[in-house]
Amino acid sequence: MTSSATPRDIPADLLACVQNTLVTWNSNSESSSPWPTALQIYQIGKLLAKLDEGTTVRSSLRQLLNVIPDSHIVEPLRDGLFHVLETNDSNREECLEAVAEIYHLAPRVPDLTSEQLTTLQTTHRRSNDTNIVQILALFLLKHQLSWEEYLPLLHQLHEDPIWNDVIDWFQDHEPGWQQTLLQKHPDHVDYLQLLWQPIEDVAKVAQMSPSSIENQQSTPVVVEPGVELQRRIHQVLQVVPGLGEGFVELCLSYYKGDVEQTVAALIDMDHLPPALRLYDRKLPRRRIEGRNKETEEEEAKQIAKAALLAAQRQQEEEAYMLDMVMRQGAHDEYNDDYDDQYDETEGNRRASDEGLYDNYDAVRTYNRVLKGIVEEQAFWEDDRNTNHTQRLSSNKKVAQEDASVENGKMYRGADKLKGGRIPNAGRGGRGGRGGRGSNKKDAPTEGSTNAESSSNGNANDNRSKGNQRAKERKLANRREKQKNAAAKRMA
């Protein structure tokens, strides 16, 4: 095949002459196809290249294919190909070269059946012809088949040794072949990418039946751990660029391979778990030559285990600090009324509590510690010895006897009469100034006075206990509200 460094187009008059010849050929042809065969088109292209030394054979063929309609290229191309394979004439190699070249230049190529594919495979095993490899590779790129029709042919090729030759041809002549194939079947990207791996890695997948692949959405394909991990790392780096692959791998291990949680954590770096803050964000991914897959998986498990232990230690430290704060706060009781109407507002949070409720395990630890503190306080309060309760002094007793409480207000007691006596409304009008002396039976005796003092003392003790219990209930209610507010913030 001749070639030129600077190919140019066929002269217009020469191309018009060839077109008129094709039209005449079309009108006088007795074959089923009114257009020339692939070999005839190839020979005309070579003739045009010889007539004009500045034109290459490929350029001549491309212009001839532009003259001939696409619908009249497909059938002669397929018929001529299998006619050459079935007849061992002297022009066979030239014919296969012509078909392969037209396959490469034509915008559309004929689709193959399973029997025709078997014929091409058998011919390749017998003669090891590179033109057949090129024809099969271009068929995979330019086919117009549906996924159901294309999949059995793909399996048939994948199980044959010619598959490696096809992949090698793709890598040498078609750099973007993977994107082209994926665009034809975008719903089966994972499976197609798996087929491009070496045969020993995907032998089980290649032997799967077409019916099982049709349901691959319900039955996920098992992908190699290293390939899947690399794919997830790239997904994270597309959203959050500028990070090291090693750091992203650690984050994926911490979140158990969940890409969404990893991306959400990396977007807001200030809320990263403490176990991940220790590592450099530009940490590269280690690649050691000669290390097998089992060693890499074991190392990944060790890294994930270390990250989990670090997170558990951080949670235990937070729980310990919370316990210490709660124990210190248990002795700092309020001696007056506490207004808790603003406890549940968002702006009343302390800065030290931020991040404490971000983790559900930390909340559970907080609730467990708080419950233990409340139960311990209730136990000691119920078991307290009341014999040591401080009794009220005589002055306070007199003040309480003289004071009267009505509707929450305190009033002054009755004024004393002359001589230090207090008027008694129940004695009638005989007592007092100018009257007769009081009746002895109406006057209080010493025994009744002592009994009354004792009953007043017991009442005061009961009142003191009631006030103490009310204060404890109020403190417990306030802590319960704080705990509920923390749970709402977590929800």
- Which pLDDT score is estimated for 118? 83
Q: Residue 70 is encoded by which pair of tokens?
A: 């696409």
* pLDDT score for 251: 87
For the chain, what's the residue count? 491
- CA distances to 36, 261, 349 from 357, rounded to whole Å, are 79, 18, 12
Phi-psi region at 94: left, alpha or beta (left = phi > 0; alpha = psi -120 to 50): alpha
What 3-state class would DSSP assign to 432? coil
> Residue 243 is encoded by which pair of tokens?
């990070």
Single out the residue of 251, 298, 255 nearest to residue 278, CA to CA. Answer: 251
67 beta partners:
none
First-residue to last-residue Cα distance in the chain = 75
* Token duo for residue 10: 């066929």
What burial letters (b/e) apply to 180-200, b meaning 16+ CB within 10 Å?
ebeebbeebeebebbbeeeee
56 and 49 Cβ atoms separated by less than 8 Å: yes
Distance CA 31, CA 363 (A): 85
**pLDDT value at residue 1:** 37
DSSP conformation class of 411:
E
What is the spatial distance between Cα 38 and Cα 97, in angstroms, rounded to a whole number? 10
Per-residue pLDDT at 203:
45
Low-confidence ranges of the chain (pLDDT < 50): 1-8, 25-31, 199-224, 288, 351-352, 403-407, 429, 431-432, 435, 438, 440-441
Question: Please, are residues 262 and 252 in contact by the beta-carbon 8 Å criterion?
Answer: yes
Which residue has tokens 């094709």?
A: 22
- 29-80 residue pLDDT tens: 444 555 566 656 666 666 666 666 666 666 666 666 666 666 666 666 666 6
Q: Which two tokens stand for residue 248?
A: 């992203």
DSSP code, position 271: G
| Residues 404 and 413 sit within 8 Å (Cβ to Cβ) | yes
Residue 174 to residues 170, 194, 422, Cα–Cα distance (Å): 5, 19, 119
